[in-house]
Structure 1
Amino acid sequence: MSPSQNKLFFKWSEAFDSARHKLLAIRQQEGIEEVKRKGIIIDKNVSLSTYLEFCKGEPSISVKHHLIDGKIEAYEMPLDPHSLIQAKLTNIMDNWNDQLLAMGETDIIVNANSVYRPDICVRPVNRRRPSRAQAINSTGLPYPTMVVEIGSTESLNHMHDKVANYFSVRTTIQIYLAIKLYLRLQNNTFALLALLYLRNNQNPTIPVIAKSFGIASLSNISRAYLLNTIRVPVNMITGVDDEFGGIPCNGANIPGYQIDIPAELLFNDVPDGVPGDAPVNFNIDLWKLQNRISVGLSL
């Protein structure tokens, strides 16, 4: 690494420390900021190769960051609720099938000058190896078929905006699951939201599933954002919310709080297709995620 790179990377590390304090402060904000808030810009006009070089030798950084159109953004504080959901979901996915690999954070090139780092990736064992021009990163490996983003500090708008790049022509990702964690309220309740996007949907930027699965209802602002900005059909927004008439998410195996992940998409571009022992859909019981936060934060 050159002296100029060392100096640059040290400057970024200091900026990330500052971003941590800003994210901790804005995490307490509610209302419109919770929907429209963007990331904190660390630097601009950064090349893909320079950013990936930084990530390879990255020092301990306590905020999540990515490169988007040449801008480095800090956007998420992985505090306890985030970590609890990440661990539980990884465990669920790791037990789906022994031909699926559930992986932690991985740098994913999503276009010519953008790199995302999802919280979880799922990739089938025998997915075809791509050309170097369409590999996930410098490893030359194929893209995962599914990515998961978990947002606490990260706003709903910021999470939704990622779908376009996750499904860009550069990637072969088929499924994007976004889990939004809302701030715990004074009465000790909290809202949670799951959005499932599929590349093969007629409009991939509109989720096929939008489920409120917390202990509290979504805010009016989040509800309006789903209906008026993302334009999710009202009959597709279900779950814990007086507006949508959903029953409480208060136990395992409640039909309305299950998310089915198509095996056909998870095993996309595998020469032998879906394994014979795999179900048509793999399941995520959202109550297990809600319960993990409730238990984990009650200590």
Structure 2
Amino acid sequence: MKVLNKLLPNRPCFLDQPLSEDSSNKTIKGYNKFLESQESSGYKYQRRDNGNVFIIDMNNPEHGLVASLLQRRFNVPNANFDYNLPIVVDHFSPSGNGQLIAPDVTIYPNANHVQQPHIPYPGPPPGNKNGQPHARIVCEIGNEQSTKEWNDKCQLWMNQVYIRYVLGIKLHKKRNGKNNFGQYHRSMTAKLWQQGAGYQEWQFGTLIRKKQTPTACNSPNLPHYQINIPIAQVFWDPPLLPADEYIPTVPNSLATETAPVNFIIDLYRVQQLVLKEQNNV
């Protein structure tokens, strides 16, 4: 795919060949190859309906370290496994129309614990070209990305019924004032969308967004600032759809008395990581 650099007022843009009715599949395929080749470039891309490919966010230390922290938290149930992990934590997943979407973190079950596709890629059940299951949990971290774009991207994932939860974390711009440790105050928002149940929201930075009011997220292990996601939802695999009465369970290897029931994300830990890694000069 031929990609041309083009500057827009607020962000760089890569412009690909215009879509036409008979070339859309080819253009999507070209975009997928482009995305795969740029996977570790430090940019997040999004292809718009008109064929334009935009940089919607840029990686930086705090963005990358928040993604790493989330990956570690979602890997906790895998602690007793050296290989053939029951839960796969990755950062790439397909969308429903053959176009790849690159979230920051994806969590999906080991293929040994769910149904194999009845029909080769893209299924059903949905999966990727390597035969791996579709993500059940997706994490999106917005940094330079606008709040609206971040929110829209998170909501877009909920169109796929196999995605049970979307965790979005938005790091807003640094404030002018500093705390007692010489770190710039910063507002941060977390949202957790649950399939069929709306979303929850947390303001967990040092200041509430658009206000000078401090948040109550001021120490670790505060129940109101911990996000809990049932581990069993990674193994959501109904025999038939719709699946209103279906209840997922974890495989026997994760069903021990001491095994955790939920993934737990402590938002204070996220806050402190961001404050330490941001540029405080």
Q: Same fold (TM over 0.5)?
A: yes
Q: Does 1:112 align with 2:97?
A: yes
CA distance in 2, matches of 1:60, 1:124: 23
Correspondences of 1:99-248 after superposition (within 5 Å): 99-103=86-90, 105-106=91-92, 108-112=93-97, 114-125=99-110, 126-130=113-117, 131=119, 132-134=121-123, 135-169=126-160, 172-187=162-177, 188-201=184-197, 206-207=198-199, 209-219=200-210, 242=213, 248=216
TM-aligned CA distance change 1:113 to 1:71, over 3 Å: farther
Identity fraction in percent: 24
CA distance in 1, matches of 2:10, 2:153: 22
1:36 aligned partner: none
Q: Which amino acid aligns with 2:172?
A: Y
Query: Given that residues 106 and 139 in structure 2 are in contact (C-alpha distance below 8 angstroms), is that contact kept between their aligned partners in structure 1?
Result: yes
Structure with more relative contact order (C-alpha pairs < 8 Å, separation 6 or more): 1
1:116-147, Cα deviation, whole Å (9 max, x unpaired): 10000111222333331334332232111101
**Equivalent residue for 2:43, pick from 37, 40, 63:** 63
SS in 1 for 2:78: coil
Q: Does 1:249 align with 2:217?
A: yes
CA distance in 1, matches of 2:215, 2:39: 46
Note the aligned Cα RMSD (angstroms): 2.9
Aligned residues: 241
Point out the structure with the larger strand share.
2
Query: Given that residues 66 and 114 in structure 1 are in contact (C-alpha distance below 8 angstroms), is that contact kept between their aligned partners in structure 2?
Result: no
SS in 2 for 1:215: coil
Cα shift at 1:72 = 2.0
2:15 aligned partner: 42
Q: Does 1:51 align with 2:51?
A: no
Point out the structure with the larger helix share.
1
Q: Which runs of 5+ in 1 are unaligned?
A: 25-39, 221-240
Cα shift at 1:270 = 8.4
CA distance in 1, matches of 2:73, 2:134: 20
Query: Given that residues 35 and 45 in structure 2 are in contact (C-alpha distance below 8 angstroms), is that contact kept between their aligned partners in structure 1?
Result: no
Normalised by the size of structure 1, how large is the TM-score?
Answer: 0.71
Q: Does 1:258 align with 2:258?
A: no
CA distance in 2, matches of 1:284, 1:62: 24
